[in-house]
Amino acid sequence: MKAQFLESMIWSGAFDCFGLKRSQLNATYDKIVARIAADRKTQGQGQTSLFDGLLNDDKAANKTEYPNIPEYSTDEKLQLEKTVLGVYISGHPLDPYRNELSTFSFNSSMLEGQEVYGESGEVVETIYTNLKDHQKVETGGIVTEIKKLSTKTSNKDMAIITVEDLFGQFDVMLFNKQYETYKNKLKENLIVKIKGEVSLRENETPIIFLNELSVWNLDKDTGAAFQDIKKLYLKFDTQNTMLQSKIESVLKRYPGQIEVKARCSSTGKAVLFPEKVDGSNGLVSELIGLLDENSVKLL
C-alpha cells in the first residue's frame, strides 16, 4: 500500500473508527510503513536472531507511540476531505453560517433558469424568473477559484472569482478598481460576504459585478489560534534536501502571514523560508510529524 494512499485515507476520515486524531495518524503513518517495510526486508533476507520470536510476541516492543499534538480544526478536516474526495464528508464549512445565508437576497440556486428551445431543438434563451439585469444583491460563500484577467484596452488587472454556497457556485467579476482594493485579501477557501449587481446577458451565465467584499468570520474555532504569533521556528538538518523539500511542501499548504525561520541542527546556521504560514493546528501537526515536538515552536 502506497504512503500517499494511506495519507488520503487518513484525510478522508477512513480511520476515525480507531479513536485516534487524524493529525496523529498523519504524523506517524510514514514511520509505521517504513518499519513494516524494514521488517519484511529483514525476514525476506533470512536475517533472524534468537530474540525475533520474543519481539514478535511483545506488544510493547511493536507499539506505536502517537505524538500529543492538536487535532486538525473542523475547517481543516473539511478542506482535506475535499482535497482527496472532491466533496465534504463530515460537514460543510458554511454550516455555522446557514442562518444568515438564508437571509441573503441571492444564492446559486437562482441560476437554475428555464431553457427555451428553438424549432431545431437548440436552446435559444434561458429565463431566470428570480433575477433581473442590474438587480442589487447580497450573498456570501467560499472562494474556490481566482482567475486573474486583464482589461482589453488598458491591460489593467481584474479578476473573476468563483464562490461556492450551500446550493452550488456562482461567479463574481472584480473590475480593476475592485481588484486593486481587495486583491491582498483574496485567497482560496476564504469565506466572504458580497454585495453587487447581477449582469444578465443573452447566451451567457449570469455573473455578479462586485461592489463590496468583506471577510466573513463568526469567531468560531478555525484552528488558527495564533493570530498574535510573529514567527514559526523550526530546527532540523537543512542540509537534508529531501526533508527540507517535504517541509516546504507542508508550508505551502498553509499560507498566511507568519514568518518561518529554521536553525540547522548540523551547522547552526539560520534559514528564513520564503513561505509565510497561518499557524494552524494542521500545519503544526504535519511539521511535528516530520520533525518532533521540540523542533517546532510558535513564538
Q: What share of the chain is helix, strand, coil (3-state, %, to 5)?
A: 30, 25, 40
Which residue range(s) make up the domain with 115? Answer: 95-215
The whole-number pLDDT of residue 220 equals 46
Place of cell 502506497: 2
Distance from C-alpha of 208 to C-alpha of 194, rounded to nearest angstrom: 9
Q: Give the number of other CB atoms < 10 A from CB of residue 68.
A: 9
**Residue 222 has what pLDDT?**
40
With a cut of 80, say whether residue 195 has pLDDT above it: yes
Question: 170 by DSSP, 3-state: which?
Answer: strand
Task: Indicate whether 169 belongs to any domain.
Answer: yes
Q: What are 280-293's pLDDT values in tens digits? A: 888 888 898 889 88
- The region of weakest confidence among 123-132, 168-177, 178-187 is 123-132
Encode pLDDT of 264-279 as tens digits.
Answer: 999 999 999 998 888 8
Asked whether residue 294 is assigned to any structural domain, the reply reads yes
- Give me the pLDDT at residue 46, please: 60
Grid cell, residue 100, equals 444568515
Q: Give just the sign of the alpha carbon dihedral 156, 160, 161, 163.
A: positive
Does any domain span residue 255?
A: yes
DSSP per-residue codes, 68-119 = --PPPPHHHHHHHHHHHHSS-SS--TTGGGHHHHTTSS--GGGG-PEEEE-T
How many domains does the chain divide into? 2
Same domain? For 107 and 198 the reply is yes
Confidence of residue 122 (pLDDT cuts 50, 70, 90): confident
- The answer to whether residues 258 and 287 touch, using CB atoms and an 8 Å cutoff, is no
Looking at residue 60, its pLDDT comes to 54
- For the chain, the average pLDDT equals 86
> What are the residues whose beta carbons fall under 8 Å from the beta carbon of 196, sequence distance 6 or more?
136, 137, 139, 172, 208, 209, 210, 211, 212
Confidence band of 126 (pLDDT split at 50, 70, 90): confident
Residues 100 and 206 in one domain: yes
SS3 274: coil
User: What are the tens digits of pLDDT across the range 219-252?
Assistant: 544 434 334 557 899 999 999 999 999 999 999 9
Asked whether residue 23 is domain-assigned, the answer is no
Do 211 and 244 lie in a common domain? no
For 57-110, what is each residue's pLDDT tens digit?
A: 555 556 788 888 889 888 889 999 999 999 999 999 999 999 999 999 999 999
DSSP code for 177: H
